[in-house]
Structure 1
Amino acid sequence: MVRIISALILAVTAACASAAEPLQLVDNPPDRHIVVRGDTLWAISGKFLQQPWRWPEVWQLNKDEIKNPHLIYPGDIIVLDRSGDTPRLRIAKPVVSRDEKLQPKVHSQTIREALPSIPPNVIEPFLSRPLVIEPGEHDTLPRIIAAQEDRMLMGAGDTAFVTNIPDATVENWQIFRPGKPLVDPETKQVIGHEAYFLGNAKLIQPGAPAAIRLTVAKEEIGRGDRLLPAPPANIMAYAPHKPEQAIEAKIMSIYGGLREGGAGSVVSLNRGSDNGLEVGHVLALFRKRASISFDENVRRVETPVPEERYALAFVFRVFDRVAYALVLESSKSVIIGDAVRNP
């Protein structure tokens, strides 16, 4: 299926009068780019702009248009126009020669798909995971109380019985097990629990108890495991863009229980939708540095120096007080406690 495209026609130009910092082209940008299957918003932007997330400024798109950008298709040509004071992007369609004779052709219509913001194979495993549960929420969620034929453990294809699913308004569910607490590095308070994803299930019969069928089982599932409604997996079309308001956050954890991460790592942030974060936001990672020296008494002296910006991250899932981001570019290891702010 032709992967078509949307969004980004993108990125490529220079400054907008209202921008605080002029946009800059990369060194020796191409004059044009032919859109092909497999292109991503981030990759095409990076062919032209030093700051790929700033492409909406070129088109002067509003917030809603950023989420649902204009469609382009494979074969369309993105042209860098430098004839004016400010470089611009335009789309050129293939031109048919006047001498070319028109012949009968078979036409087919392709299904339109939004151009993914970043490589799908990187982000898809995390579209519905990880999960964050608010403090005290565990006891109110649906819970597996029994399995068919009194089994202790279950896998894909098995049927389970669940409490607290009163009707059939939600058909698709995620199964999880309570996991480690997420502690805000600034306040030291628990702002949620990162749940351990076990699998997916489909409601087959509402009631008390309700019956579900396990459709995916990453690990064995048993009595006491909880359920949450599965979120829609529609984030791929959201275009990278910087937050409109100032964001001040910290890295709380690196997904998978790692101590350090890098490009391709998923990190949790101690800010969420309550603080204005949304899917598609691009944020920069910063680390405080200190110059270490010794005085005349051979005492260690640390002199603070300006923070070092070393990475960019793309927010792909947002909860009330927690967000998850994929580190796209990083010049060094990502460490828990590092600062996260507007790029």
Structure 2
Amino acid sequence: MPKFRYTLASFILGLLVSMGALAADPVAVNPSHPERYVVVKGDTLWDISGHFLRDPWRWPDVWHVNSQIANPHLIYPGDVIVLTYVNGQPRLTLERGSLVKLSPRVRSTLLDGAIPAIPIDAIHQFLTRPFVMDREAMESAPYVIAFDDEHIIGSNGVKAYVRSIDSEDNTQFDIIRPGGPYKDADSGEILGYEALFVGSGALIRLGDPATVTLNNIEIETTKGDRVMPIAEEEPLETFYPKAPGQQIFGSIIDVLGGVTQIGQYHVVVLDKGAGDGLEPGNVLAIDHRGETVKDNVSKDPKDTVTLPDESAGLLMVFRTFPRVSFGLVMHATRAIHVLDRVHNPE
């Protein structure tokens, strides 16, 4: 997988392009903010801004950008971030040795050591593989029918026999396993199907069945697993945290990565996607969905009441599909659960 590049320039300038101007709403500072902060290895731009701002994703709104220079410095461990005020509004600037303005040099290479926007290790495995498909695409995909040398299951180096590969245009494949449906939390409508990544395969002989050598197997391949050409598009490298451009009201419908308790840096599935106006980088608030409880005081034994929703955290969308999306939980103030609600941050 290619390295990921997160420059402060793209983090800021991409946001400005997408929004047209800095946000008009005033930015609230963290009441316990420092005046200066020294960047350390392991920080992210989100972490750093959290030291200074109540809403960490508002970093670009207060960063001092020189409009005459296309690319600001990257931020590295040892750099110093300083909070000042201009006309009563907070402003963050960068010091490197002495106060520096912004670099006129355009950096075109991937640079190690620069501070990323978010913890990329938490999401890298979910950036490129299919993971969500519609029923028609799933059912029409080539599939494993048997294995060589009397193998019952497939592992690295084993030959798999695959039906319905009818072209040599693609020779590298993802092996996926059809999973359960993703459903709208309120209506129950099916929005797509989970496509669980099994491993990879390389075409060595065309025919009916074709022969594919298995490699990079993460879970054992079984008969019926689907075979999909590896997508050639590059994964998204830079995220621009911002509120959605329209009102979003949705829910968490699943959690990825084999965890059962949802907390910070866990990846969740939402029942809203690109078709609903969501984009990578959109920030959403999470509310614990109020449960319905029985009123034991009421004389009516069937009397119940639904408790109010309560704030539970914040997530950032990093990948969208037509009707669902993946989000990374950036902040959690309480336990988060499947069916908790998401909406525009206030």
TM-score scaled to structure 2, two decimals? Answer: 0.76
Q: Within 5 A, what are the aligned runs for 1:18-167? A: 19=23, 21-59=25-63, 70-74=72-76, 75-95=78-98, 111-112=110-111, 115-128=115-128, 131-149=131-149, 151-167=151-167
Displacement of 1:10 after TM fit?
8.0
Retained in 2: the 8 A contact 1:3–1:112? Answer: no
For 1:339, the equivalent position in structure 2 comes to 341
For 1:100, the equivalent position in structure 2 comes to none
CA change 1:204–1:117 in 2 (3 A) is: farther
Amino acid in structure 2 at the alignment position of 1:263: Q
Amino acid in structure 1 at the alignment position of 2:283: V
Identity of aligned residues (%): 34
CA change 1:223–1:23 in 2 (3 A) is: same
Q: Distance in 2 between matches of 1:77 and 1:205?
A: 58
Q: Distance in 2 between matches of 1:150 and 1:215?
A: 18
Amino acid in structure 2 at the alignment position of 1:252: I
Q: Distance in 2 between matches of 1:147 and 1:182?
A: 31
CA change 1:5–1:261 in 2 (3 A) is: closer
Q: Distance in 2 between matches of 1:164 and 1:70?
A: 51
Retained in 1: the 8 A contact 2:284–2:344? Answer: yes
Retained in 2: the 8 A contact 1:4–1:112? Answer: yes
Displacement of 1:164 after TM fit?
4.4
Displacement of 1:253 after TM fit?
2.0
For 1:248, the equivalent position in structure 2 comes to 249
Count of residue pairs brought into register by the alignment: 320
Q: Distance in 1 between matches of 2:34 and 2:54?
A: 13
Displacement of 1:242 after TM fit?
2.1
Q: Which moved more, 1:303-312 or 1:45-54?
A: 303-312
CA change 1:52–1:162 in 2 (3 A) is: same
Displacement of 1:257 after TM fit?
7.0
CA change 1:170–1:37 in 2 (3 A) is: farther
For 2:321, the equivalent position in structure 1 comes to 319
CA change 1:230–1:285 in 2 (3 A) is: farther
Displacement of 1:134 after TM fit?
0.7
Q: Distance in 1 between matches of 2:315 and 2:128?
A: 18
Amino acid in structure 1 at the alignment position of 2:89: T
Q: Which moved more, 1:332-341 or 1:202-211?
A: 202-211
Displacement of 1:19 after TM fit?
4.2
For 1:224, the equivalent position in structure 2 comes to 224
CA change 1:241–1:270 in 2 (3 A) is: same
Q: Does 1:201 align with 2:201?
A: yes
For 1:273, the equivalent position in structure 2 comes to 274
Local SS of the residue matching 2:121: helix
Amino acid in structure 1 at the alignment position of 2:241: P
Q: Which moved more, 1:170-179 or 1:291-300?
A: 291-300
Q: Distance in 1 between matches of 2:206 and 2:299?
A: 76
Retained in 2: the 8 A contact 1:5–1:73? Answer: no
Retained in 1: the 8 A contact 2:6–2:237? Answer: no
Retained in 1: the 8 A contact 2:75–2:115? Answer: no
For 1:103, the equivalent position in structure 2 comes to none
Displacement of 1:336 after TM fit?
2.3
* 1:199-220 superposed Cα distances (whole Å, 9 cap, x missing partner): 1234556777655432311121
Displacement of 1:52 after TM fit?
0.7
CA change 1:245–1:237 in 2 (3 A) is: same
Displacement of 1:131 after TM fit?
0.7
Q: Which moved more, 1:218-227 or 1:119-128?
A: 119-128
Unaligned runs of 5+ in 1: 12-16, 62-67, 97-108
Q: Distance in 2 between matches of 1:291 and 1:151?
A: 53
CA change 1:89–1:146 in 2 (3 A) is: same
Unaligned runs of 5+ in 2: 13-20, 100-107
Q: Distance in 1 between matches of 2:71 and 2:286?
A: 27
Amino acid in structure 2 at the alignment position of 1:33: Y
* 1:298-333 superposed Cα distances (whole Å, 9 cap, x missing partner): 767655665321111122221110111122222222
Q: Distance in 2 between matches of 1:18 and 1:238?
A: 17
Give the alignment's Cα RMSD to 1 decimal: 3.8
Displacement of 1:53 after TM fit?
1.0
